[in-house]
A and B are shown apart, each in its own frame.
Chain A
Amino acid sequence: MTSTAEAVAFWILGPLAVLGALGLIFARKAVHAALGMALTMVTLGVFYLIEKADFLGVIQIFVYTGAVMMIFLFVIMLVGVDSSDSLLETIKGQRWWSFIFVIGLAGLLIFTLGQVTFDAKTVQAGMDRLVANNNATGNVTGIAEKIFGQYVWAFEVTSALLITAALGAMVLAHRERIVPKRTQAEWAARRVKENQDVAGLPAPGVYARHNAVDTPALLPDGRPAAKSVSRVLVARDQVARTDGYRDVERYIEREIEEGRQK
C-alpha cells in the first residue's frame, strides 16, 4: 500500500512537521513560534499532495500559510518588534487550568487514535476510490461535487457562521467618530486663532554631534523645550538628556574665549 517514495517523503516531512510544532510551543520569540507553525502547515499541505488530494493540499498552503499565518505575523510584528515571552502568569491559576486541559486533550487524542484500525485493505480501498475519482472527473470537480452537492448545507451554514464572526469582529473593533476629523488646514487655522505655536511646534534638537527626534531642542536660556519632543516618547520615558551636548557646547565656547584672551 505505501510506496517507497511515499515512505521516504513521510520520514523526511514527518519530523519536520513535529519540529515545527515543537518550535511553536518552545520558541521564546513570538515570530519564531509563528514560523514554526507555518512550517507545520506547509508540511501538512505537502502531505495532502502526496496523498493525492491536490486541491486540499494547495488550498492548505495558500489559505493557511499564505493568508492566515501572514495576518498573525502582521499582528505580532506590529505589536512589538522584539517582544519575547515573559514567564509571568497573567491569569491566575492559568498553569493549573491549562495542565488539566492538556491532560484532557491528550486523553481524548489517545482514546480516539487507539480506536483507529489500520486495516490495510480498508485504507487501500479508500485510496483506490480516490484515485478512480481523480481519474474519472478530476480532483477539483470531485471535491466541488461533494461541497456543492452532498454537503451543501453544512458548507453554507459554516460560511454563514464565519461571516457572522467576521461582522462581529468588525462591529466590536469599530469606533464611531463623534466629531469630524480635523484636516491639516483646520489645525493650522486653529493655531493662528488661538495664537499658540503659530509657527508650528519647535523641531527636535540639532547639535553639532547629534541629531535625533528624541533629543529636545534648547530654549534661549538653555532649558530643554518640552514641546520639541513627541508626546509618545515622553510617555514612554524615552527622551534623551541634553546635558552632554550642552556641556560640549560650553567647553567649545570656553575654549574660544580662552583663545581670544591669549
Chain B
Amino acid sequence: MTLSSAAYGLLGALPATDNPSADFSDTPWWVALIKALVIFVYLLISTLLVIWFERRIIGRMQQRPGPNRNGPFGLLQTLADGAKLMLKEDITPAKADKIIYLLAPLIAGTMAFVSFAIIPFGGEVWMFGHRTPLQLTDVPVAVLLVLAVASVGVYGIILAGWSSGSTYPLLGGLRSTAQVISYEIAMGLSLVAIFLFSGSMSTSQIVAAQSSLWYILPAFFSFAVYVITMVGETNRLPFDLAEGEGELTGGFHTEYSSMRFAMFFLGEYINMFTVAALATTMFLGGWQAPPFIAAINNGMFNHGWWGILWFTIKMWIFIFGFVWLRGSLPRTRYDQFMRFGWKFLIPITLAWVVAVAFIRGAQLGFLGEGTVTVGPLGFNTSTLVIVAVVAVIALAVAWVWDGRREARLAAEQVSPPEEIDPFAGGHPVPPLPGQRLREPSVALTAGGSSGESVVSGGTVTAVKEEDHG
C-alpha cells in the first residue's frame, strides 16, 4: 500500500452500480450447498474453540490456568460440557406457553447462522472445476440483511422471556430487547458512513473498495461507535445487563435447560462471530491481506484461498477484544447504559454521518473541482475545506464540553471550612485533614434545660440539640 494509492482510496469515485462485485455466474447449486455446509461446520468449530479460548484467556488474566484437563490444553472441555448439557433434563415450567417456549431457542439459534451467508471469506477460487467466490451469496443490500436478521433473532430472546411464564425471564427479555434495538440504531448509523465511502451495501463491493485503504482510517469514528455497539448488541460484558446474575439470576434463559439452553448459548457465541466478521468486512478490509504482506511477490498472499486465513485472524482479533473486555470491566448500570446509547451515541453518530456526507460530496466534486497539489498527492480543495471545518467544529465542541465539565467539577468541590465544631451535629465528628478544631464555646453549665449533658474529655459540655435533618 503506497501513499498515492492511499490517496486514491480516499478520493475513490463511486462504483458504476451498487450491485455485488462477486461473480456467482459459475456457481451451480450443489457448490453453493457445499459452501453453506462448510460455513456451518466452520461456525460450529469456531464456537467450540472460542468457549475454550475465552475460559483460558480469562483464566490467564485472573492468574489461574483455566480448563486444562480434557484433551491437549483442555481443548475438549467444551465438547465435554456440550455432551453434559445434552444429557441434562429438559424442563418446561408449568406456566410456560409450550409452543413459543420451544420456538424461541430455535429462532435464536438459527437466525445466528443466517448472517454468515453474505460474509466474504476470500476472493475467487477454483472449486470442483468451477470459478467461484469464497462467499455463499451476496445481494445489493447485504449489510442491511445482517441487521434485519439480527432484529428477527431478537424475537428469540423476547419470546423466551415471555413464554417462560416467570418474572425474571420477562424482565430480562424486555431489557435485552430494548438494549439490542437501541444499539442497533447506533450500529446502523455508524455503518452509513461506510456505505457513503464505498457507494454500496454489498459486502463484496465494500471489500473490493478497500483494496487500497481500509475504512478503519477514513471512518475511524464509525469504527469506534461500531465496536462499542457490537458489544451492546451481543449482550456481552460490560453490557450483559440482560442476564445480570446479581439482579435477574439468568435473564431471559433462567428457566431454560438442556439443549434449549445450549441453543441460546450457541446463538450468543455465533452472534459474536457475526458482528466480528462484519467489523472485519466493513473496517479491516475483509479477507484482504494486511498491507505489507499484501505487497509480497506482487500480491501472492492476497487472493484465493489465502483470504480465509487473513479473515479468520482479523475476526479473532475482535473476539480477543470481547474476551479482554469481559476480563477487565465490571457491568454497567442499566439506566447509564441506555442513556449512553440514546443521548450520546445516536446523536453524535448522526452528526458524524452528516459530516461524512459533506466530505464525500466534496471528494466526488459536487462542491467544486479545484485541486491542491502537495508533493506527489493531489487533494480536492473543497474536501480540505470541509475536513478543516469539521475538525474545527469538533475541537470547539470538545473545548466547550471540557470547560463546562471543569466548571461543574469545580462547583461540586466545595472546600470544607477551616474550623469545625466537633459537636455541632450532636455527636463528635473528627476533623478533616487540615481542619482546625474549634474550642467548645458553650458555657460550662451542667444540665442545661434545652440541651443534653455530654461528658467529653473530663469537661461537661452542654450541646444544643440540632435537628437531625
A binds B: yes
Q: Which residues of A contact B (CB under 8 A)?
A: 29, 31-32, 35, 38, 42, 45, 54-55, 58-59, 61-62, 65-67, 70, 73-74, 77-78, 81-82, 134-141, 189, 192-193
Say whether, besides A66-B148, A77-B158, A35 and B100 are in contact (CB < 8 Å).
yes
Q: Which residues of the other chain, A, contact B383 by a CB distance below 8 angstroms?
A: none
Q: Which residues of the other chain, A, contact B467 by a CB distance below 8 angstroms?
A: 193
Q: How many Å lie between the Cα of A136 and that of B150 in the bound state?
A: 30
Question: Mask for B200-221, Cβ within 8 A of A = 1, else 0?
Answer: 1100000000000000000000
Q: How near does chain B come to A215, taking the closest CB pair, in angstroms?
A: 17
Closest 3 CB pairs of A and B: A66-B151, A138-B18, A62-B148
Q: How near does chain A come to B334, taking the closest CB pair, in angstroms?
A: 16
Total residues of chain B contacting the partner, CB 8 A: 35
Q: How many Å lie between the Cα of A139 and that of B144 in the bound state?
A: 13
Return the contact of B152 from the options A66, A139, A140 (Cβ within 8 A): A66
Q: How many Å lie between the Cα of A61 and that of B151 in the bound state?
A: 8
Q: Which residues of the other chain, B, contact A65 by a CB distance below 8 angstroms?
A: 148, 151-152, 155
Task: Please determine whether B144 and A70 come into contact, CB atoms closer than 8 angstroms.
Answer: no
Show 19 residue pairs from A and B whose CB-CB distance is below 8 angstroms, ordered by the A residue.
A29-B97, A31-B100, A35-B159, A55-B144, A66-B148, A66-B151, A66-B181, A67-B181, A70-B155, A134-B19, A137-B16, A137-B17, A138-B17, A139-B19, A139-B141, A140-B18, A140-B140, A140-B141, A189-B469
B309 at interface by CB-CB < 8 Å? no
Task: Please determine whether A54 and B170 come into contact, CB atoms closer than 8 angstroms.
Answer: no
Task: Please determine whether B148 and A58 come into contact, CB atoms closer than 8 angstroms.
Answer: yes
Say whether, besides A70-B177, A77-B162, A78-B174, A141 and B151 are in contact (CB < 8 Å).
no
Task: Please determine whether A61 and B148 come into contact, CB atoms closer than 8 angstroms.
Answer: yes
Q: How many Å lie between the Cα of A192 and that of B140 in the bound state?
A: 67
Chain A, interface SS category: helix
Task: Please determine whether A70 and B141 come into contact, CB atoms closer than 8 angstroms.
Answer: no
B36 at interface by CB-CB < 8 Å? no
Q: Which residues of the other chain, B, contact A58 by a CB distance below 8 angstroms?
A: 141, 144-145, 148
Q: Which residue of B lies closest to A78 (CB)?
A: B174
Q: How near does chain A come to B205, taking the closest CB pair, in angstroms?
A: 9
Q: Which residues of the other chain, A, contact B144 by a CB distance below 8 angstroms?
A: 55, 58-59, 62
Task: Please determine whether A70 and B154 come into contact, CB atoms closer than 8 angstroms.
Answer: yes
Q: Which residues of the other chain, B, contact A73 by a CB distance below 8 angstroms?
A: 158, 162
B75 at interface by CB-CB < 8 Å? no
Q: Which residues of the other chain, A, contact B158 by a CB distance below 8 angstroms?
A: 70, 73-74, 77
Q: How many Å lie between the Cα of A126 and that of B19 in the bound state?
A: 20
B139 at interface by CB-CB < 8 Å? yes
Q: How many Å lie between the Cα of A62 and that of B149 in the bound state?
A: 8
B147 at interface by CB-CB < 8 Å? yes
